[in-house]
A = this chain, B = another copy of it.
Amino acid sequence: MSMHTSIATVCLSGTLEEKLRAAARAGFDGVEIFEQDLVVSPDSPEAIADLARELGISLDLYQPFRDLEGVDKAQFQKNLTRAETKFRLMARLGIDTILLCSNVGTATMTDDGVVVEQLRRLGDLADSYGVNIAYEALAWGRFVSEYDHAWDLVKAADHPRIGTCLDSFHILSRNTDLSRIAEIPGEKIFFLQLADAPALTMDVLSWSRHHRVFPGEGAWDLSDFLTRIAATGYAGPVSLEVFNDSFRQGDTNRTAVDGLRSLRWLEASIADTIAAPTGSASAAEPAGPSTALDLQPLPEVEEPRGINYVELSTDDLGALTRQMHQLGFQFIGFHRSKPHVQLWLRGEARIIVSEVTDGVGTGADAGGTSSTSADEAGTTSAPVNGTFLRGIGFEVTDSRSAMERAALLHADEVPRDQAHNDEVLRGVFAPDGSEVFFHQFEKATPAWIQEFGHDHDEQVSHIDHVNLAQPSNHYDEAVLFYTSLLALHAEPSQDVPSPSGLVRSQVMSSTDGSVRMPLNVSPQPHAEAVAGRGIGSVVEAYPEHVAVACEDIFHAAATALSRGLDFLPVPQNYYEDLDSRFDLAPEFLQQLQENHILYDRDEHGQFLHFYTSTIGSVFFEMIERRGDYRGFGAPDAPVRLAAQHRKNAQLSAQNAQMSGQQG
């Protein structure tokens, strides 16, 4: 047993039947029926109740009932009649609790006494139908907009059928003091709804109706919130009510899994700090808060220690490995049992290159390659052509525990061939279709390197960060994925201008910066359609890159130049602007320009870097951090994006010309 998880049907896309099936398939225990979903459904209430029974999920709440209280007698009588029709409907559905929202539209009486009396009368009516009323303060309620006001009214009504509903959005969006939650006895909380939200400054109604996200995908501390609820003794459903424009149009099964993951993660995040009810707890344990919620932990995961390797898939092996050679990577060897997989090293920066020819997958490598890739629904499809970032190996303190946790968080495992004497590696698909592998952290060179017949490279170099392209409709899901599976943190997002629109960039990182992944949402509309790797996917619209840290960027650039690297060009105007922004010595500026190196500075240090041209949907960045510079050269990103845009335009023009000559 675990806590009873539930989700409002309004969170999901599709028909009511599709929503119920998706919730059940994802593993929810129940759903809230949103009235509108029922009204537009061709299925009778009885048929919906039967379907829920068949699917093994409960119908936990009927919602919403609006604009009941704080009205004059004549209107109240009409409202009671309206309520009665809902109670009859609920009986047909087999639902015993209804959400009553504080009056937004029709309330004319500010007197709490009137409201208390009307709640009591509603309670009497509800009692005759066996219905419980969960009264909730909407953040934009006319006279009742704070949870503690609603609780005061419920307390004063003192009716067994009248309780309160607490919704994290309505409470946290108003920044209300949470301390009075502790005053509410758990049994008077008739329902609990959770939503997270990004920190936006806008009217609370629009914020609520369009921008809610699942716990862990926004800016709020839902762990603290749920801890406070748990401490009241609340034992009912923990339900998601998230109005989100993207979720409403997304794949319903996928959204449901995303939602359940958020609850499992949240549950586990507080399971260790809250003891079970004293009856079942050991007497030796300290007397922390106890709870009637049966909170289940997950296998622990610590922040990753680093990026063990990046795997690139390519159908243009010559071009890719030539570029890596130019960057100072050394060819180490082919995998002993996977003939199309090779390893390249530059110090501790490890790149696995797996060749794909004509759409035929060529076997998994030691670093985790599968012969499949995730499509939109998380199922598998055939290998794809192109050069793209296939996956990342993360160094974790306990790889077995990380994989168990990932599975319990409903991540799809990457199918993988494994030779009997290779290191056992397991991984899952990220929301963008890339593969995430869990490597046991070792201080020495990783064991799997031996599978390539490696002798050690002496260069001081490592993977500094990996930039991933994200489909915009799975962006929130990605944040929760990396937070819940890998304990990474989301930094505030930034908008970066490009010639084709604003790129939203959000860094996910570990506290010490040993893992850094900027997630980029491209503005290209067609990039929304497909999550996944390779041709036709989101990475086509926005190339991804691996940033390699080195000790001496000028030396790296000189080597690259001597080996004929195709640097991404940096305009003269950039260097002139740099000169006006920073007081750089003329020789240094010239040295930067001669080496195609871009420059940034903050109060902690300096950042020097250059980019390569793009092969398929991948390019490299070579960087040198001086001092304690924390960023990624964000002021330089528009320069890169513009240069890549020009390059693409040139290629398009050349292709058009060539096909014209052929035609």
- The CA of A212 and the CA of B41, in the complex, are separated in Å by 39
Q: Of A199-207, A361-369, A394-402, which stretch is located at the interface?
A: A199-207
Q: Are A245 and B36 in contact, with the CB atoms below 8 A?
A: no
Q: Which of A202, A579, A643 neighbours the largest number of chain B CB atoms within 10 Å of its CB? A: A202
Contacts A36-B638, A41-B642 known; 9 new A-B pairs at CB < 8 A: A13-B499, A15-B649, A35-B577, A39-B639, A42-B571, A42-B643, A82-B580, A202-B202, A248-B497
Complex: how many Å from CA A641 to CA B248? 14
Question: Chain B: which residue is nearest A10 at the CB level?
Answer: B497
Contacts of A646 in B (CB 8 A): 15, 42
Q: Is the CB of A473 within 8 A of B15?
A: no
B202–A497 contact, CB under 8 A? no
Out of B18, B203, B499, B529, which one reaches A15, CB within 8 Å?
Answer: B499
A579 to B, closest residue via Cβ: B85
User: Among A184-192, A485-493, A519-527, A613-621, which stretch is in contact with chain B?
Assistant: A519-527
Q: Are B473 and A525 in contact (CB under 8 A)?
A: yes
- What mask results when residues 625 to 663 of chain A are scored 1 for a CB within 8 Å of chain B, else 0? 000000000000011011101100100000000000000
Answer whether residue A500 sits at the interface, using C-beta atoms and an 8 A cutoff: yes
In the complex, the answer to whether A574 meets B638 with C-beta atoms within 8 Å is no
- Chain A 467-506, CB-CB to B under 8 Å as 1, else 0, gives 0000001000000000000000000000101011110000
Which of chain B's residues have a CB closer than 8 A to the CB of A203? Answer: 201-202
Judge whether A14 is part of the interface by a CB distance below 8 angstroms. yes
Identify the closest chain B residue to A530 (Cβ): B525
Q: A41-B642, A248-B523 are in contact. Are A499 and B576 (CB under 8 A)?
A: no
A445 CB within 8 Å of chain B: no
Measured between beta carbons, the chain B residues less than 8 angstroms from A18 are 499
Residue from the list B40, B85, B473, B577 in contact with A639, Cβ < 8 A: B40
With an 8 A cutoff between CB atoms, is A572 at the interface? yes
Residue of B nearest to A472 (CB): B525
Cα distance A528–B472 when bound, in Å? 14
Q: How far is the CA of A569 from the CA of B15 in the complex (A)?
A: 15
Are the C-beta atoms of B248 and A502 separated by less than 8 Å? yes
Give chain B residues whose Cβ lies under 8 Å from the Cβ of A43. 573
With a cutoff of 8 Å between Cβ atoms, the chain B residues found around residue A248 in the complex are: 497, 500-502, 523
Q: Is A89 an interface residue (CB 8 A)?
A: yes
Minimum CB–CB distance from A431 to chain B (whole Å) comes to: 16
Cross-chain contact B573 with A499 (CB below 8 angstroms):
no
Q: How many residues of A contact B (CB 8 A)?
A: 58
Q: Is the CB of A580 within 8 A of B201?
A: no
Number of copies: 2
Query: What residues of B have a CB within 8 angstroms of the CB of A572 in the complex?
Result: 42, 44
A348 to chain B, nearest CB (A): 33
Whether B40 and A571, one on each chain, are in contact in the complex, defined by CB atoms closer than 8 angstroms, is: yes
Complex partner residue of A580 from B42, B86, B580, CB under 8 angstroms: B86
Min C-beta distance of A140 to chain B, whole Å: 12
**In the complex, per-residue mask of A34-66: 1 if CB is within 8 Å of any chain B CB, else 0:** 011011111111000000000000000000000
- Measured CB to CB, the closest approach of chain B to A96, in angstroms, equals 19
Of all chain B residues, the one with the shortest Cβ separation from A45 is B573
Judge whether B41 and A573 touch: CB under 8 Å: yes
A249 interface residue per 8 A CB criterion: yes
Interface pairs (23), CB distance under 8 Å: A14-B500, A14-B645, A35-B577, A36-B638, A39-B574, A39-B577, A39-B638, A40-B573, A40-B639, A40-B643, A41-B573, A42-B571, A42-B643, A45-B573, A82-B580, A86-B580, A200-B202, A201-B206, A209-B495, A210-B502, A245-B501, A245-B502, A248-B523
Partner of A501, one of B249, B574, B639: B249
Q: A105 to B433, alpha carbons, bound, how many Å? A: 41
Q: Report whether B15 and A642 are in contact in the complex, using a CB–CB cutoff of 8 Å.
A: yes
Q: Which of A38, A42, A85 is the most central at the interface, judged by chain B CB atoms within 10 Å of its CB?
A: A42
> Is A569 a contact of B42 with CB atoms below 8 Å?
yes
A: residues with CB less than 8 A from B are: 13-15, 18, 35-36, 38-45, 82, 85-86, 89, 200-203, 206, 209-210, 245, 248-249, 473, 495, 497, 499-502, 523-526, 528-529, 569, 571-574, 576-577, 579-580, 638-639, 641-643, 645-646, 649
A89 CA / B573 CA spacing, docked (Å): 10
Minimum CB–CB distance from A45 to chain B (whole Å) comes to 7
Q: A642: which B residues are within 8 A, CB to CB?
A: 15, 40-41
Which residues of the other chain, B, contact A495 by a CB distance below 8 angstroms? 209
| Contact between chains at A245 and B574 (CB < 8 Å) | no
Q: Write out the residue numbers on chain B whose beta carbons fall within 8 Å of the beta carbon of A571.
A: 39-42
Query: What residue in chain B is nearest A252 (Cβ atoms)?
Result: B499
Residues of B within 8 A of A245 (CB): 501-502, 523
For residue A206, which residues in chain B have a CB less than 8 angstroms away from its CB? Answer: 200-202
List chain B residues, Cβ under 8 A from A576: 89
Contacts of A649 in B (CB 8 A): 15
A297 vs chain B, min Cβ distance (A):
36
Contacts of A638 in B (CB 8 A): 36, 39-40
CA distance A529 to B528 in the complex (A): 11
Give the distance in Å from the alpha carbon of A207 to the alpha carbon of B639 in the complex.
25
A634 CB to closest chain B CB, in angstroms? 13
Tell me if B44 and A500 are in contact (CB < 8 A).
no
Take A85-B580, A573-B39, A573-B44 as given contacts and tell me if A526 and B523 are in contact as well, using a CB distance cutoff of 8 Å.
no
B residues near A41, Cβ cutoff 8 Å: 571, 573, 642
Residues B15 and A645 in contact, CB atoms below 8 Å apart: yes
Question: What separation, in Å, do the CA atoms of A501 and B14 have in the docked complex?
Answer: 9
**Which residues of B are found within 8 Å of A641, using beta-carbon distances?**
40
Cα of A577 to Cα of B646 in the assembled complex, Å: 58
Give the chain B neighbours of A580 by CB distance below 8 A: 82, 85-86
Which chain B residues border A579 with CB–CB below 8 Å? 85
Smallest beta-carbon distance A99→chain B, Å: 16
**In the complex, A572→B48 CA distance in Å?**
13
Q: Report whether A249 and B524 are in contact in the complex, using a CB–CB cutoff of 8 Å.
A: yes
- With both chains docked as a complex, state the minimum distance between the C-beta of A286 and any C-beta of chain B, in angstroms: 44
